[in-house]
Amino acid sequence: MILAGAVLLSVILLIPNLDPNKPAATGSSSHDANTGPVTHEQDDEPMESIVVTVSMTSAEFANLEEASQRFMLKYPNIRVLFSNVESKEEAYVAWKQELELGSSSDIMLMDSGWVREFAVMGLLEPVDSVNTASTISDQPTKLLAPLKWNSYLWGLPYDADPAVLVWNKAMLSEQKLSAPPKDWDSFMNLTDHLSAPQEASKPLVYLPSDFSLTTAWLDGWSNSAQRGTGALLFSEESASRLKALAGLTIPSFNLNNRMLGTELEQQRMLASVLPWSEYKALPKSEQDKLVLDKDKLRNIWLGSRSFVVSAASEKTEASFSWIKEMTSVTEQERSYERFGKLPAKNSIYEISGYSGTTAQYPPSWMLPLLNEEPMDEPPAPNWHSEWKRWQALWKLYTSGATDITSFIQSITASPSNEQ
């Protein structure tokens, strides 16, 4: 009996504790440590917030917020806080003040022409570490050019909206032309044929009040050796051409860009200039009345935008992760389809060359223009202040407050001479 009792006691001691209400025993043996968790602690990354400020339309802003929601599902430990300053000039002033004080957003989406100025002032973080060789090769050379300084890259291109020249197809056909004139002399000969003596004041070219569109027109007639970023825009030859052009347009004339093909036909106007996104948004019936001049698309970086990161940011890794997602092929495809601004990925243009779906993808013929033309010099650090002055002077001219001669004299004078 004593022996039987001892055996029974041994069996009971060897049976595991099956009471669910009683905590499991813990031990220090390697076997106990590796079999089943003893706690529910996780090694998740800590939550962090990044602040993004952009300057864009409300529709574009809503689209970027949607993209950021997808980002936060992918990176649940990163929270993105947004603000939008629709006025570019207000954004420029605010960013400059905040960056100088070290209190800016982590990320800003700014005009690419401003990036070098902020980089020279030591206000931005270089972004070279974000780019691998494959990433760089997929970014258009022309859009990277204004972002480089001192052997570093200071921004990541997001999109571009260059101005394009369009021609009245019916008027070209009347002159037995299937394509726009190739050079300035051919253009002037064509205008001579179209301008009867009694119609000497009739406008043939529409140049809106946006100075960048006039820049695109003048750059379109320059050869590769003359191409610059605006600093060489008003050479003696350019000034002469602008004076000739002034005789072919009425500064206060307004067209309905949404019906541009019809407007040019009805007004008997030969040509106009508009942003690429507006051309893409035209109904096909309007595009069919126009001839797009593919040979005169020059400074594509004008009107482009890039993401930059503040030098004072303590969230650079999270910021770079967010930027890479926003500039991914998938997000750029979505943005182009909605808003028509050119994406900053070469591979997206290559897709259109295979599929031919021009409504969804930008045309493949733009690839050489984005990558193979001779490189322009990047904008000088004071480019924004000069450009702002030129814009103001051009608006004075287009409003009829001054003549073209006064405009040219003012724009070629240094700012110090004007004070």
Report pLDDT digits (tens) over 241-282: 888 888 887 666 677 778 999 999 998 899 999 999 999 999
Confidence of residue 352 (pLDDT cuts 50, 70, 90): low
Total-model pTM: 0.83
Q: Determine the pLDDT at residue 10.
A: 46
pLDDT, residue 285, reads 95
Confirm if 154 and 119 have CB atoms less than 8 A apart.
yes
Q: Which pLDDT belongs to residue 246?
A: 82
pLDDT band at 408 (very low <50, low <70, confident <90, very high): confident
Q: Is residue 395 domain-resident?
A: no
Q: Are 153 and 346 in contact (CB under 8 A)?
A: no
Mean pLDDT taken over the chain: 81
Q: Are residues 272 and 346 in the same domain?
A: no
Backbone CA torsion sign across 221, 223, 228, 232: negative
Whether 235 and 349 map to the same domain: the answer is no
Residue 228 has pLDDT above 50, yes or no: no
Same domain, 188 and 273: yes
Buried b / exposed e over 401-412, threshold 16 CB at 10 Å, is ebebeebbebbe
pLDDT for residue 317 is more than 50: yes
CATH of the domain at 191: 3.40.190.10
Q: How many domains does the chain have?
A: 2
Q: For residue 20, with 0-12 CB atoms within 10 Å meaning exposed, 13-18 middle and 19 or more buried, which class applies?
A: exposed
| Residue 104 and residue 191 share a domain | no
Domain boundary among 299, 324, 356: 299
pLDDT tens per residue, range 143-172: 999 999 999 999 999 999 999 999 999 999
pLDDT at 295: 87
Residues 307 and 294 grouped into a single domain = no
Q: Is residue 411 part of a domain?
A: no
- 122/70 same-domain check: yes
Owning domain of residue 356:
48-160+303-371
Q: Are residues 117 and 73 in the same domain?
A: yes
Q: Which of 299, 328, 357 is the last residue of a domain?
A: 299
CA distance 227 to 145: 14
Average pLDDT estimate for 305-333: 95
CB 364 within 8 Å of CB 350 = yes
The predicted structure's pLDDT at residue 133: 56
Instruction: State the average pLDDT over residues 225-251.
Output: 68
Q: What is the mean pLDDT of residues 380-395?
A: 87
Percentage of residues of the chain with pLDDT beyond 90? 51
